[in-house]
Structure 1
């Protein structure tokens, strides 16, 4: 056994099973990474350059896109490097940084979806007072608090994990995460386990409760409204609901991958399950909001038309 003081790197053994098709995996992951960067960067650019999109919902969508880029940077460069590498190792420092990045990404995503649910609640339940309630200052404060809340919360989690004495350096995933580090510990992890449960409540359960509360309130209002108003409310909420369901499913995949023995599952399936929440939501969200939100869709069309009509 290796003492934690001597562990300078971790070995990601799932990569050992990739074999000769590593270049195929590399090509697919690289294409997905570039598509992720392009889609979210384009969405951010359109929102910032079109003044018609400078409103609360679009700012929250932009914040979501920034988080997608943040999470992608935490995963893809290391993933691509390890696919081509022969030793499939990640340094201890990089492992800790990656763990922090990926966990805060997940927390920011759920927190952002919770705030967006509140925004939809105010839009549907208090339409006449919406702009006086969701002021630009309030929107900026919400966005800053989302990031500070996630960063501070997981800083405590990671500080508890870093102090553990480790008796191994084998991680059975394609990236580092906090649960994998705790599993390597041969010292007492009681505090980690208790605070870990509390952190899961703060990161997932609490945002989901806030989202459900907002939608229950919206549903009560919609049941009393006309069919036209109900349809309008549904169209307003569809992008958010699709994002929420998609990210929730991907989070369940990640929990299953982390908590249960998956050695009987083919390597390709295990890799897909473990990276789904970092690949699919960031690709789907820009499409959802670009297609479903009328103002963003029109901004896309105006941008493309301007590019076509501009002189060469």
Structure 2
């Protein structure tokens, strides 16, 4: 059936329980017309000759639309401003914390420097996902080159690993601050902070490089990745030959960074014991370690689900839920971390609020017109 022969309007509705209702059997195609998205609908109870183009806003079942685009990624998809808004919010929140910490000398302490490093890593990781994802939403063809795919995979994976190493050095900083306060400034000095920052970035790249090389050496016999972004295992599954080496090294990487999470949890156990008999330590623990623990818990669970589902997941799992859990790691931590640390850490919160009040004050004075007045002597 050619497009010109498809009716412009849906057929007459069915009478179900006294209500006139249209039932969508299946979405067949999508197209852009006059700036709007339309779907070719196959109606329940009607033949192929009654199929019609319907605006996307008139199809209330979002899961039906998501399943259609998951099965047919080459058709035009809803553009929407949601992902762009989320990305802009992530940039604004993380940059606000980074700039506040960098410009204020009173915040040039190890704990705040490590928070700044965490926010910097959030921006780095989202660069690997959002620009390509936003481009795909506005494109009728979701295609990525091999080089771009491997680059995206390397950025996202190194960012995930850097998140764990940063959380470990933050846990060590809190352990020394609460359990050994008299030794804090001698132990966590400028050289130690520099080494910790280098470790948080260099270790993920060094340990992740063999995995990247093993994957790049695999000859590919396919091109379809059933995911919203490229990741290492999705590329490996397209290989024509055995991927045992990739599988073993991938599990080794997973165990290494799960060990990082265990180290953080063990440090919390020591912190809880040290804080039990001191109200000052208890307050410090809740204020600084609370956001840290929530960040670690959310991130670790998201990574475990993503890795395990990529390897052992079933296709029977709902596609839209699978997509949500896949991108959760690239949405929630970059939004949650700057909010938690910005609101919970009192010094950062006060500095941000002070800077905002100053900007608003200056803005008001620049907007309100000032006029010179003359004093006139009257007789």
Instruction: Report how far residue 235 of structure 1 moved.
Output: 2.1
- Determine if contact 1:18/1:267 at 8 Å carries over to the other structure: no
Matched, 1:221 2:221: no
- Give CA-to-partner distance per residue, 1:18-42, whole Å, 9 cap, x none: 9665223xx1111111111111111
- Give CA-to-partner distance per residue, 1:251-291, whole Å, 9 cap, x none: 23323541344543444322211111011100111110001
Relative to structure 1, is the Cα distance of residues 167 and 149 closer, same or farther in structure 2, using a 3 angstrom cutoff? Answer: same
Name the CA distance, whole Å, in 2 between partners of 1:245 and 1:131: 29
Aligned partner of 1:305 in structure 2 is 357
With 64-73 and 299-308 compared, the bigger mean Cα shift is at 299-308
- Extract unaligned runs of 5+ from structure 2: 1-68, 367-379
Aligned partner of 1:206 in structure 2 is 259
Name the CA distance, whole Å, in 2 between partners of 1:166 and 1:17: 20
Instruction: Report how far residue 193 of structure 1 moved.
Output: 1.7
Aligned partner of 2:70 in structure 1 is 14
Aligned pairs (5 A) from 1:84-103: 84-103=138-157
More strand by share: 2
Name the CA distance, whole Å, in 1 between partners of 2:82 and 2:310: 23
Aligned pairs (5 A) from 1:124-273: 124-202=178-256, 204-223=257-276, 225-273=277-325
- Determine if contact 1:44/1:62 at 8 Å carries over to the other structure: yes
- Determine if contact 1:14/1:174 at 8 Å carries over to the other structure: no
If the length of structure 2 is used for normalisation, what is the TM-score?
0.74
- Determine if contact 2:76/2:140 at 8 Å carries over to the other structure: no
With 140-149 and 62-71 compared, the bigger mean Cα shift is at 140-149
- Determine if contact 1:79/1:174 at 8 Å carries over to the other structure: yes
Name the CA distance, whole Å, in 1 between partners of 2:108 and 2:227: 41
Match of 2:95 among 28, 31, 41: 41
With 286-295 and 258-267 compared, the bigger mean Cα shift is at 258-267
Aligned partner of 1:3 in structure 2 is none
Name the CA distance, whole Å, in 2 between partners of 1:120 and 1:73: 29
Instruction: Report how far residue 174 of structure 1 moved.
Output: 0.7
Aligned partner of 1:58 in structure 2 is 112
Give the secondary structure class of the aligned counterpart of 2:210: helix
More helix by share: 1
Name the CA distance, whole Å, in 2 between partners of 1:50 and 1:177: 38
Q: CA RMSD in A?
A: 1.8
Instruction: Report how far residue 208 of structure 1 moved.
Output: 1.3
- Give CA-to-partner distance per residue, 1:50-105, whole Å, 9 cap, x none: 11110001000000011000001000011111122222110000001001000001
Give the secondary structure class of the aligned counterpart of 2:72: helix
Name the CA distance, whole Å, in 2 between partners of 1:18 and 1:270: 19
Name the CA distance, whole Å, in 2 between partners of 1:234 and 1:29: 33
Name the CA distance, whole Å, in 2 between partners of 1:190 and 1:144: 32
Give the secondary structure class of the aligned counterpart of 2:144: strand
- Determine if contact 2:75/2:140 at 8 Å carries over to the other structure: no
Name the CA distance, whole Å, in 1 between partners of 2:322 and 2:198: 35
Name the CA distance, whole Å, in 1 between partners of 2:335 and 2:305: 17
Give the secondary structure class of the aligned counterpart of 1:151: helix
Instruction: Report how far residue 17 of structure 1 moved.
Output: 5.6
Name the CA distance, whole Å, in 2 between partners of 1:286 and 1:37: 10
Name the CA distance, whole Å, in 1 between partners of 2:226 and 2:106: 47
